[in-house]
Amino acid sequence: MADVVLVEYPDPAIAVVRINRPEVRNALNLEVRQVMAEIFRQFVDNEKLRCVILTGNEKCFAAGADIDDMSRLEAIDMYLRHTERLWQAIADCPLPIIAAINGYALGGGLELAMHADIIIAGKGTKLGQPEVNVGIMPGAGGTQRLTRAVGKFVAMRLCLTGEIISASEACEMGLISKLTDDDAVMETAMEMASRIAALPPIAIAQIKEVILHGTDAPLSAALALERKALQILFSSKDKHEGMTAFLEKRKPEFTGK
């Protein structure tokens, strides 16, 4: 893969996707998005993989889109890029995704983090949707995922003012899953990824699918989706192993079947 995004496998079951443009605070240009999309598409066929960590470096997750790149584009240029397809490759990943963020997660960087299922942030992290300050608006989920995460009134405040908030405030409003010391973000993410990777993968996949698809469905439909997913899991070998191990007071060995 290109040097703008690095992929590491600290464990066969865990992949770390690292944005690597420190000279521009990991700004998300078209190449970064294309490479990330291809990486996440490949994850779908990796049967050993159980969890993905998405991160930048200790100083910055991603400070937004590459303004130098975007400043030269017109409307049709933006349309022809079809970046929505690149973002969708991440959204469609069936594996749990943990965003491990330090420094800045702004604009497209925050939108990228919101494509994850869990966000772990350092206490010094700054977050926001400041696109309005350069005459545009969020265009990769900042008005929609943010509203679903924190509610209309907070999302309006952040998008309309371009205000940048602290990690502690983001945590209070429900935008962050876990807050930790800046130098402990990756360690915390790895511990969580290892815990998830050790659990039954079919159950993990069903949990993610039901939460994502049930969120925008009527409650009755979402509850039906939940019931059906639970019923499916009763035919898995991992369900038998998990319950047998519990009754026998031993550690289960899940196989993903």
| C-alpha–C-alpha distance, residues 60 and 227, integer Å | 41
61 contacts 105 by C-beta, under 8 angstroms = yes
If asked whether residues 158 and 206 sit together in one domain, one would say: no
* Residue numbers annotated as active site: 65, 108, 111, 131
Q: 80 by DSSP, 3-state: which? A: helix
pLDDT in tens, the chain (257 residues): 578 999 999 999 999 999 999 999 999 999 999 999 999 999 999 999 999 999 999 999 999 887 888 888 899 988 888 999 999 999 999 999 999 999 999 999 999 999 999 999 999 999 999 999 999 999 999 999 999 999 999 999 999 999 999 999 999 999 999 999 999 999 999 999 999 999 999 999 999 999 999 999 999 999 999 999 999 999 999 999 999 999 999 999 999 99
Same structural domain for residues 219 and 107? no
Dig out the tokens for 22 from the structure: 């420190």
The reply to whether 163 falls in a domain is yes
Own/partner pairs, 125-129, CB within 8 angstroms, 24+ separation: 125/61, 125/101, 125/166, 125/167, 125/170, 125/182, 126/164, 126/165, 126/166, 126/167, 127/164, 127/165, 127/166, 127/167, 127/170, 127/175, 128/158, 128/162, 128/163, 128/164, 128/165, 129/158, 129/159, 129/162
Q: Are residues 66 and 49 in the same domain?
A: yes
Q: Which residue range is the domain that position 221 belongs to?
A: 201-247
If asked whether residues 242 and 182 sit together in one domain, one would say no
Name the nearest CA neighbour of 30 among 41, 43, 21: 21
Domain boundary among 159, 175, 197: 197
18 assigned to some structural domain: yes
In a domain, 257, yes or no: no
In the chain, the number of structural domains is 2
The tens digit of pLDDT for each residue in 143-165 reads 999 999 999 999 999 999 999 99
Same domain, 210 and 118: no
- Do 150 and 229 fall within a single domain? no
Q: Is residue 239 part of a domain?
A: yes
* Judgement on whether residues 10 and 33 belong to the same structural domain of the protein: yes
pTM (2 d.p.):
0.94
The DSSP code sequence of 139-154 is -SSTTTHHHHHH-HHH
The reply to whether 109 and 12 lie within a common domain is: yes
Residue 229 maps to which CATH number? 1.10.12
Asked whether residue 254 is assigned to any structural domain, the reply reads no
Question: CA-to-CA distance for 67 and 18, rounded, in angstroms?
Answer: 21
Residue 108 resides in a domain: yes
Q: Which residue has the tokens 């545009």?
A: 136
- Residue 81, domain member (yes or no): yes
Residues 139 and 46 occupy one common structural domain: yes
Contact 19, 1 (CB under 8 A): no
Q: Domain containing 22 — which CATH number?
A: 3.90.226.10
| Among candidate residues 162, 178, 197, the one where a domain is terminated | 197
Whether 26 and 63 share a structural domain: yes
* 104: DSSP letter: E
> 206 and 108, same structural domain?
no
Residues 132 and 91 in one domain: yes
**Residue 255 belongs to a domain:** no
